[in-house]
Structure 1
C-alpha cells in the first residue's frame, strides 16, 4: 500500500486531509435532509417514504446538491497548517454555506416569489414548486461557491466579504425574477407568473429554473476579474454588482439569440406559456444554462 501511495505521488498527510474533508462533507450532506424536514416542519422520512411526496423529494435533492456545490468552494485543495485547522475550516465554511443556503431560500420565498407559500405547496405535493425551490437553492449555492473561492483566509473580514457578496448576488436574482414576471405578464394578457406556478404549470417552472441558474452563473463571473482585499471590499462589491448586471444582460441577450436558432420555427409563448410544453421548456432551460456556462468559462 505504501509503495502504491509513493508511486501515485500522494503523501499520507494529504490522504488524512482528504479523509477529513470527505467525512465532514458526507456528515453535512446527511444533515441537510433532516434540516430540510425541520425547516418545512415535517418528518422527512414520512414525507419521502410513506407519503411519497415527490415535490418534497425534489426540494431536498436541490438542497443536497446545493450543499455539495458549496462544499467544493470550501475544499480548496490546499492543506491547512494542521489537521485541527482543516476540520475548523471545513466546518466553518461548510456550516456557514448551509446557513446561507437557508437564508437564500428565505429571500427567494419572501422577496422574489413573495406571493407563494412554498412550504405549504410542497407539502401539498406541488411538483412545480418543488422544482423552482430546488433551482433556487442550486442558484444560491453557485453564488456562495464563487464567493468562497474569491475570498482568502479564515477571519471576520472573510465572513463579512462572503455575506456581502452573497447579498449582492441575491439582489441580482430578485431583479431577474421581477423582469421575468413582467415579461410573462406582457406575453399573457397581464397574467401572474407566480399564480401560474402555484397552479402547477411545470413547463414554466423548468424555464424559470434555467433562468435563475444561468443568472447565478453570470453573476459569479465577476470573481475572475476582482481581487479580494479587505481594504477595498466596498469597491470590489460595487464592481461585482456592476459586472454582474452587465454579464446578466449579456447572457440574456445571447440566450435569446440562441433560443431563436435552437428552437427555430417554434412559438415559445404559445408552446410553453399556453400549452405547457415541457420538452420545449427543457430545451429553453438547457440553452440558458449552456450559454451562461460558456461565457463564464471564457471569462475564467
Structure 2
C-alpha cells in the first residue's frame, strides 16, 4: 500500500485533508435536504416517501446539486496550514455558500418571480415550479462558485467580495427574467409568463431553466477578465456587472442564432408557448446551456 501511495504521489497529509473536505461536504449535503423541509415548513421524509411529491423532490435535488457546485469552489486543491484551518475554511465557505443559495432563492421568489407562491405550489405538487426552483438554485450556485474561485484568502474582504459579486449576478438574473417576461407577453397576446408557470406549463419551465442557467454561466465569465484585489474591489464589481451584462447579451444573441439553425423550420412560440412541446423546449434548454458553456470555455 505504501508503495502504491508513493507511486501516485499522494502523502498521508493529503489524504487527511481529503477526508476532512469530503466529510464536511457530505455533512452539508445531508443537511440541505432537511433545511429544504424546514424552509417549506414540511417534513421532508413525508413529502418524499409518503406524499410522493415529485416537485418537492426535484426542488431538493436542485438544492443538493447547487450546494455541490458551491463546494467545488470552496475546495481549492491547496492544503491549508493545518487540519483545523482546512476544516474551518471548508465550513466557512460551504456554510456561507449555503446561506447565499438560500438568499438567492428568496430573491428569485420575491423579486424575479414575485407573483408566484413557490412553496405553496411545490406542496401542491406543481412539477413546473419544482423545476424552476431547482434551476434557480443551480444558477445561483454557478455564480457563487465563480466568485469563490475568483477571490483569495479567508478574511472580511473575501466575504465582502463574495457577497457583492453575488448580488451583482442576482441583479443580472432578475433583469433577464424581466426581459423574458416581456418577450413572452409580446408573443402571446400579453399573457403573463408567471401565471403560465403557476398553471403547470412544463415546457415553459424547461426553457426558462435553460435561460437562467445560461445567464449564470455568462455572468461567471467576468472572473476570467478580472484579477481579485481587496484594494480595487469597487472597480472589480463594476467590471463584473459590465462584463456580465455584455456576456449575457452575447450568449443571448448566439443562442438565438443557434436555435434557428438547430430547430430550423420549427415555430418555437407555437410549439413551446402554445402547444407545450417539452421536446422542443428541452432542445432550447440544451442549446442555451451549450452556447454558454462553449463561450465561457473560450474565455477561460
1:172 match: 172
Larger mean CA deviation between 3-12 and 27-36 belongs to 3-12
Give a deviation string over 1:244-280, Cα, whole Å, max 9, x none: 0000000000000000000000000000000000000
Give a deviation string over 1:178-214, Cα, whole Å, max 9, x none: 0000000000000000000000000000000000000
1:61 match: 61
CA displacement at 1:2 relative to structure 2: 1.2
2:13 matched to 1:9?
A: no
- Distance in 2 (CA, whole Å) between partners of 1:204 and 1:141 is 22
- Distance in 2 (CA, whole Å) between partners of 1:272 and 1:24 is 42
- Distance in 2 (CA, whole Å) between partners of 1:38 and 1:97 is 18
Give a deviation string over 1:227-246, Cα, whole Å, max 9, x none: 00011000000001000000
1:206 match: 206
Give a deviation string over 1:8-30, Cα, whole Å, max 9, x none: 11111100000000000000000
- Give the alignment of 1:1-300 within 5 angstroms: 1-300=1-300
- Distance in 2 (CA, whole Å) between partners of 1:233 and 1:269 is 43
CA displacement at 1:63 relative to structure 2: 0.1
- Distance in 2 (CA, whole Å) between partners of 1:56 and 1:2 is 47
- Distance in 1 (CA, whole Å) between partners of 2:152 and 2:8 is 29
- Distance in 1 (CA, whole Å) between partners of 2:94 and 2:244 is 25
- Distance in 2 (CA, whole Å) between partners of 1:233 and 1:283 is 39
- Distance in 1 (CA, whole Å) between partners of 2:160 and 2:236 is 13
Give a deviation string over 1:131-151, Cα, whole Å, max 9, x none: 000000000000000000000
Structure 1: gaps of 5 or more residues? none
CA displacement at 1:3 relative to structure 2: 1.2
- Distance in 2 (CA, whole Å) between partners of 1:244 and 1:104 is 17
CA displacement at 1:121 relative to structure 2: 0.1
- Distance in 2 (CA, whole Å) between partners of 1:114 and 1:263 is 32
The normalised TM-score by structure 1 is 1.00
Give a deviation string over 1:34-59, Cα, whole Å, max 9, x none: 00000000000000000000000000
Q: How many residue pairs align between the two structures?
A: 300
The normalised TM-score by structure 2 is 1.00
- Distance in 1 (CA, whole Å) between partners of 2:9 and 2:76 is 19
- Distance in 2 (CA, whole Å) between partners of 1:268 and 1:8 is 52
- Distance in 2 (CA, whole Å) between partners of 1:241 and 1:253 is 18
- Distance in 1 (CA, whole Å) between partners of 2:76 and 2:187 is 45
Q: CA RMSD in A?
A: 0.3
Structure 2: gaps of 5 or more residues? none
